[in-house]
A and B are shown apart, each in its own frame.
Chain A
């Protein structure tokens, strides 16, 4: 998946775990040192279960976890040399901020270095003497990050550290995390349900849905070529409809579309990118880039969201276009009016995705 020496990073093979009634399908993951794997999945997809299994907080039912060639599978969490940041900061409320950061080094029997440098780097040096009870959500997560880094972990796991924060605090902490991750030479797994977080922080992306890893690879690659409907949806592709691919074409509704080269024949779901849909108030005729993907439609509704407005269109298929406000400044689009729609990027994904067990490694 990622460049780097084989065996130098984190290698997860066939890992299964159970949390309550939820069971994780065998998962394979590779994260090279210095790479960030964004584990992207919707709520309830098993992200936290997988992360806790890697951390040793819940037992692996089968499979192996190795870090730099060392088998961690049977080791208790305290011997895995991890740093973990949880969704809730989970700071120790009876210790000060500095006490929290010193906890790890002390527990490992090392003389606790003054946590000053680390706190400085994360912009929280002024909080050292404070009680966690008095901190804001963003401050708490910075302390949690400092606490995880204070043990010089051999691998860092972050479980949706931004999800409980409001928007300004989230953007703030995201850039702090980005800076910290850029300076680390260890494997990092960043769990999130947020596409923007995954794409801005992850070098690689693994898609987890329904308890199984559906696709994994370099972020750009997975974004451009989702191989599973869940991957397509999570990365912002929208459903156009389903049909059967035959000789490089698929018919969805009454629309026949040319599919990208190499799409195998068989039942498939077609996805488009709403921000790559072009909407014109006139017939582009021969100027349209892909004639097969241009059709007339009626504007149903315009939702004036910012920075991109949503234009809902009904033609041979239903389409939602995301348009910059200035793209709508020309000949006006209005509800009930006629428009010509050109679908940009298209992707036909075999229905149900590639069969078999979950996979995290590209072939």
Chain B
């Protein structure tokens, strides 16, 4: 039985009404402030903000660095997700907890920790500086901060996807002559693709919205959330709200497109050609 054949009838009656009421409350709690922000600023002010070089550059930088981070988080996160899903290794619980750690750490704390490590005198920052790579106040720093806070999403989405795949499929591939790498690339990874891409999209979304860790490790160059905060402090609320709407629209549009791609049928079809 495929997932599409499962009974999908929603509960009715008082219980159904209660589910909708409570679920609707939370939904409204998310939608109302976002809609209020969008309606608070006249469209021409938003257009003017989008045309301003500072806001445009900051938004583009955020987009670019979030995309780079999503790729790095996925490349490094998939192997760890696979190990956590498959490996009955010692200390698996500890590794899983470490992966989740960035979710529990306040992001200002993460920024300070990263500064100690990747700052100019940090454990990694100092030797890197001698090689000409600076994390402090550079795009490298932004990506580093984004990676720290978004990595759990990439790892956990991949782990959940791998956990949902029958390990016997990999075994069957091996008996048919596939090396472990071939079995992974041709069977396990295509089947986990949706979860892996969902993880990448979540990592992207988490990265583009990151402020705390980024502002501490790499205040410059200015990303969109930092620019909005600067405007909030130095200019008026309307100006910062206009920049906020620009970021909101760009982030939402890219997120929705990527999310649709990751969950779409397009992917299910793409898999059929592999083998």
* Pairwise interchain contact B182-A107, C-beta atoms closer than 8 A: yes
**When the two chains form their complex, are residues B176 and A147 in contact, meaning their CB atoms are under 8 A apart?**
yes
Which of A77, A78, A94, A108 touches B272 (beta carbons < 8 Å)? A94
Report which B residues bind A (CB closer than 8 A).
Answer: 2, 166, 168-169, 171-180, 182, 186-187, 190-191, 268, 271-272, 274-275
Count of inter-chain pairs, beta carbons less than 8 A: 86
Stretch from A22-30, A85-93, A117-125, A183-191 forming part of the interface with B = A85-93
Specify the chain A residue showing the minimal Cβ separation from B168.
Answer: A90
Residue A95 interfacial (CB < 8 Å): yes
18 A-B pairs within 8 Å (CB atoms) are namely A52-B171, A55-B171, A78-B174, A78-B178, A90-B169, A92-B172, A92-B187, A92-B275, A94-B274, A95-B271, A99-B275, A100-B275, A102-B275, A103-B176, A106-B275, A107-B178, A107-B186, A108-B177
**CA–CA, A95 and B169, complex, Å:** 12
A351, CB-defined interface residue at 8 Å: no
Given that A78-B179, A86-B168 are contacting pairs, would A103 and B275 also be in contact in the complex, using a CB cutoff of 8 Å? yes
The answer to whether B271 and A94 touch across the interface, beta carbons within 8 angstroms, is: yes
Query: Lowest 6 CB-CB distances: which A-B pairs, in order?
Result: A104-B176, A94-B271, A108-B177, A107-B178, A77-B174, A99-B275
Residue of B whose beta carbon sits closest to that of A79:
B177
Asked if residues B171 and A104 are in contact (CB atoms below 8 Å), the reply is no
Contact pick for A88, options B166, B174, B271, B274, CB 8 Å: B166
**Contact indicator B169/A92 (Cβ below 8 Å):** yes
Q: Chain A residue with minimal CB distance to B172? A: A90
Min CB gap A81→B, angstroms: 8
Asked if B174 and A95 make an inter-chain contact with CB atoms under 8 angstroms apart, the answer reads: no
Chain A positions 136 through 177: 1 when the CB is less than 8 Å from some CB of chain B, otherwise 0: 000000000001100100000000000000000000000000
Report if A107-B177 is in contact (Cβ < 8 Å); known contacts: A92-B275, A95-B272: yes
In the complex, which residue of chain B has the Cβ closest to the Cβ of A86? B168
Query: What residues of chain A have their CB less than 8 Å away from a CB belonging to chain B?
Result: 52, 55-57, 76-78, 80-84, 86, 88, 90, 92-96, 99-100, 102-104, 106-108, 131, 133, 147-148, 151
Whether B275 contacts A77 by the Cβ 8 Å rule is no
Minimum CB–CB distance for A353 against chain B, Å: 33
Q: Which of A86, A95, A99, A104 contacts B177 (CB 8 A)?
A: A104
CB distance from A192 to the nearest CB of B (A): 18
Of B172, B191, B271, B275, the residue contacting A86 (CB under 8 A) is B172
Q: In the complex, are the beta carbons of B171 and A90 less than 8 A apart?
A: yes
**A residues in contact with B172, CB < 8 Å:** 84, 86, 90, 92, 147
Q: A77 — which chain B residues lie within 8 A by C-beta?
A: 171, 174-175
